[in-house]
Structure 1
């Protein structure tokens, strides 16, 4: 699992944090028979009213998995009608007391625990521990099971804008938008350099870079720049690429062909605009939508790879001279989701954190998320807070 209680656990020990025995490391997941491809409404499976379906493919092999029923407006209306009925006085859900609802949530948690390896298939090692142990109160069920562990992040600013426009035309609906980012990390010369390398790369390559908090801009103070790049390249080359259903794999395929092509096009733009490709930057020769972990050095702020959200395994490393310069360049973006500061100086950590225009600032770590701390962005990274 990822960053529960401010730490990142790799899943090998399965430490639960409560003294209980570690969970066994899961075996490679077998692709199971697809049983449910219909639309789930009111506790029943339905076919699309217009008969629409869409194909879904395994990005590791390119093989078609199945066809899934595609909901249209009429199907959504049916689902909304069922939800409204469930919330009316006298409905079975409204008549159910809190403890009974809690038991249902515990049952859901047990089922998630049972199938955790299958649910986490394709994510990096450690995400298999999706469901930690419950506390004694059922009231914590939703927060503990549905909120504390961010397994994957997706966000599109364009889609968010469309949602806001639609909401504005529809009875002033309250909308929370958690969207994209072009997230900066600032590495000062006094930092623990190896820690900074490891954390920024986890931020850059988690889930193949398909993460709205991806650490895609790394600003490194010039005194340690060359050493940071050298260590980053060495680290990137050690990443295990392979079958996403094998828990030993830490780098799998991109989600689909469209995203795969977009990432390679942006990598090509980086090379053409003068950034130095240190490693990776190409697709794997085997089948599937694999792109090697990619590191660019000597990246300039005007380049496309410095400005656009790549949503792929691309780490861009910039050089800076002064603290004020780093802050100004880090803030020079339309996004404002997350950032990080690496330094041994507490005063610097606090002052730089206060100056960064992002919803979250991590200090000497990355993607460390708490259920008790709000999460969300500024500017084009969205509005509202989760957790």
Structure 2
């Protein structure tokens, strides 16, 4: 498995237009004047120097968002008016798709083709989806006793803090921001320090779309400063966070210790992908490869525990190896490239460390396992067999292109083993037997169970986890719930005895 030219001329010559904070409709320097560098993971070259926001900058952003919510037009616009602005935002995403995809490639290491022709399109369609909901938010009429009439209002919760991960900032911006806008909220967004560029470009587009000043604010910075300020801020009414379970604990604790703001967490995963002996082996091998290698394995939903029934184990592994060896690594701007570099040096070293633990722990390395090239954070797609449940690579989220394969005998056994994890985000089931499919789907404790398919997450399908994979749902109309609260209004009717 070779590696083509790392990076491209585009990665070193592309103009970075927006590097400051975005507060109250303007790009501004941080109060401290501090900056930090963002790096191209394909070349390890510095892309740009970005303004570093801290608590005092978060305070300014929250003040702008608070003013926009309490006194500005956005929460008071008709749903139709919000819808039209969001549709304009979606159109601008499509019109600037090449720019957005390029920023995502050079800042994240993603291959250009899937970003340009999938993720950016999903982002614009997510805005259109929730734009369609903006004028359909309604309450209910209640039948009450004692001649009391009542109804409910569904009102925007207020100022929302969004903390966005580094593995998919363009896509996650749309996932979080679109339903919050539809509900009538204002917000402060903290992008990951590794990948701030696409979020800042989206802030620019929001201004062009007609989103009022103060509704969307972006504060670049680090988790322990800017992120902590968002989580603990007394004037932020709700927080959403996507990232590691470890940091999710910190975010939730900060929210509880401040103003008891509600939190939505989409955290880690160690998802089982279960292949029964009656499955289409070619399809199962293809999906197992995709489920672990798309986005270089940097997915919380990665199918990172591949359970294979013992009767087909050896044949499956051979086919999986064939699929993995077809996976092309190289220049992310080459449209034939499937696999770019890991997002950052820390993650690169972490994945290599897990590979070493797999070797030392007694697993069999089938293919891959090595870094590639002299520049860039490239790691060969890797398969381990003879993996047991107690091995580190079977228990911990690797967040990289490593596929542990585990053998099982019976349906009862694999259900028990699949559930023996702190996580519960996603599961895959490959079988032609409807009884097996139904039994496993009902038995696995996960937010999504995907039968004879994988990575089919859609804007209309709610996404979230069980257990330590978090709580709350993003996507689908369920996503609106985090940004709305219910108010009950009651009054006596004319001839009520309470008059």
What is the TM-score normalised by the length of structure 2?
Answer: 0.67
* Alignment partner, residue 18 of structure 2: 36
Of 57, 69, 77, the match for 1:87: 69
Higher gyration radius (CA): 2
Q: Which structure 2 segments of 5+ residues have no match?
A: 1-7, 137-170, 179-240, 476-499
* Distance across 2 between alignment mates of 1:215 and 1:347: 22
Q: How does 1:300-319 map to 2 (within 5 A)?
A: 300-319=388-407
SS of the residue aligned with 1:161?
A: helix
Contact 2:78/2:135 (<8 A) preserved = no
Contact 1:190/1:343 (<8 A) preserved = yes
Of 435, 439, 461, the match for 1:347: 435
Q: Deviations over 1:174-203 (max 9, x none)?
A: 101000001111100001111111111111
Q: Which has the higher strand share?
A: 2
Q: Which structure 1 segments of 5+ residues have no match?
A: 1-27
Cα deviation for residue 379 of structure 1 reads 1.2
* Alignment partner, residue 191 of structure 1: 279
Q: Which has the higher helix share?
A: 2
* Alignment partner, residue 325 of structure 1: 413
* Alignment partner, residue 28 of structure 2: 46
Cα deviation for residue 29 of structure 1 reads 9.4
Q: How does 1:94-173 map to 2 (within 5 A)?
A: 94=75, 96-121=77-102, 122=105, 123-124=110-111, 125-127=113-115, 128-129=117-118, 130-131=120-121, 138-140=131-133, 146-147=174-175, 155-173=243-261
* Alignment partner, residue 308 of structure 2: 220
* Distance of aligned partners of 1:50 and 1:137 in 2 relative to their CA distance in 1, 3 Å threshold: closer
SS of the residue aligned with 2:378?
A: coil
Q: Deviations over 1:18-54 (max 9, x none)?
A: xxxxxxxxxx993421111100011101111112211
What is the TM-score normalised by the length of structure 1?
Answer: 0.86
* Distance across 2 between alignment mates of 1:189 and 1:141: 47
Of 279, 290, 305, the match for 2:378: 290
* Distance across 2 between alignment mates of 1:136 and 1:162: 32
The alignment yields a C-alpha RMSD, in angstroms, of 2.5
* Alignment partner, residue 70 of structure 1: 52
Contact 1:29/1:245 (<8 A) preserved = no
SS of the residue aligned with 1:66?
A: strand
Q: How does 1:242-321 map to 2 (within 5 A)?
A: 242-321=330-409
SS of the residue aligned with 1:336?
A: coil
